[in-house]
Amino acid sequence: MMSARITSRSGGAAGRTVLSAVVATGKSARVLLLLLTIATAGAGSTWLFAAPPAHSPVLEPIGENRQGSREVRNSVDGMILVLIPGGRFIMSEGSTSEDRLPVQTAEVNPFYLGKTEVTWAQFLRFCEATHHDPPSRPWWEHDDSHPVVNVSWQDAMAYCQWAGLRLPTEAEWEFAARGTDDRPFPWGFASVTAGGTYRANFLIERHGFDGYLRTSPAGSFPGGASPQGCLDLIGNVWELCSDRFLFKEEEKGDSSLRYEEEQRGTGTDTLRAARGGSWATEASRLHGTERTGIILGEPLADFGFRCAADAGRP
């Protein structure tokens, strides 16, 4: 039996509001709180989230894939994750995005990344197990094999906590998509439709020419596989990352970076990064460095997520 307690209080000159939640399962309460600080133009808010953690999640080995990379299955949600070896790469190299990060050398440790995005079937299993409110269904034709959409960053974090996983960082995501050879796309250097093969689900002039008007079932484009065998890193849905969305860089004399606040008056603390483009992204924007931001708490119809996990765990 699961119970929940949610409390709130308001006060302070800036109108501070504190929300907290405690989830108890059975006789013992297991509390997992995610602290988010959101700075707005005239007030601050602190949100505390609680999601019931899964019971002893285990990454079960299932062998090597076609690319020769190790794959494991998460015991909680059945998600297949691929081992991404650690390494050093040039982050943002070749990016033409207005929201690009500065070109920099980045290094990531070995980690696991979901082979595909989280699907409706997986997310609804989480909702059923935790009594989390399910997202609204999109209007287009789809089934539970499609990636879940209309989820906020907080929804994605709650799912990851339940599954014993996490969201990838932007550096991890880009490394998985581009490898160490500075390839612009997960599949290499060829264009997304080279040779008449569609390697991603994206916006085309002739809507549905790739077979799908909006989202496609996870893993529908094997020709778009990354060096380690991850699918749909480009297109289908934007994939949420753990990072704050930093943008509009300005170099200073000391080489440090300053990021301007978003024009609507909210600071970058209210935004989280997303990578890869979606079914609504034009081909000219499809690139392993492409990025955008999403406001905390705002679900969108072309945003989803995939999970990650540290390597070396059981």
CATH code assigned at 98 = 3.90.1580.10
**Whole-number pLDDT of residue 311:** 93
Residues 18 and 74 grouped into a single domain? no
Measuring CA to CA, which residue among 180, 184, 164 is closest to residue 277? Answer: 184
Amino acid at position 244, single letter:
R
Residues 8 and 141 grouped into a single domain? no
Measuring CA to CA, which residue among 44, 61, 41, 27 is closest to residue 266? Answer: 41
Measuring CA to CA, which residue among 69, 270, 87 is closest to residue 171? Answer: 87
- 3 state DSSP class of 241: strand
Q: What is the pTM of this model?
A: 0.77
Residues 189 and 40 grouped into a single domain? no
Could you state, in chain order, the average pLDDT of each consecutive group of 10 residues for the chain (314 residues)? 31 30 32 32 36 69 96 96 92 69 85 97 97 92 92 96 96 91 87 84 62 85 92 93 72 34 47 90 80 90 96 69
Q: Which two tokens stand for residue 265?
A: 């008056």
- The secondary element (H helix, E strand) that includes residue 177 is helix 170-178
Is the CB of residue 27 less than 8 Å from the CB of residue 10?
no
Residues 117 and 99 grouped into a single domain? yes
**Whole-number pLDDT of residue 32:** 35
Amino acid at position 219, single letter:
G
Residues 42 and 118 grouped into a single domain? no
Q: Which two tokens stand for residue 37?
A: 């600080």
Is the CB of residue 79 less than 8 Å from the CB of residue 305?
no
Tally of residues, the chain:
314
Chain centroid to Cα 105, Å, comes to 22
Helix then strand then coil, in percent of the chain rounded to 5, is: 15, 30, 55
**Whole-number pLDDT of residue 211:** 67
Domain limits at 121? 59-310
**Whole-number pLDDT of residue 257:** 35
**Whole-number pLDDT of residue 52:** 55
**Whole-number pLDDT of residue 17:** 28
Q: Which two tokens stand for residue 191?
A: 């264009």
Residues 9 and 46 grouped into a single domain? yes
Residues 143 and 287 grouped into a single domain? yes
Residues 75 and 158 grouped into a single domain? yes
**Whole-number pLDDT of residue 210:** 59
End-to-end CA distance of the chain: 28
Q: How many domains are contained in the chain? A: 2
Residues 40 and 154 grouped into a single domain? no
Residues 40 and 63 grouped into a single domain? no
Of 50, 69, 84, the residue at which a domain comes to its end is 50
Residues 89 and 29 grouped into a single domain? no
Residues 255 and 221 grouped into a single domain? yes
Of 29, 50, 71, the residue at which a domain comes to its end is 50
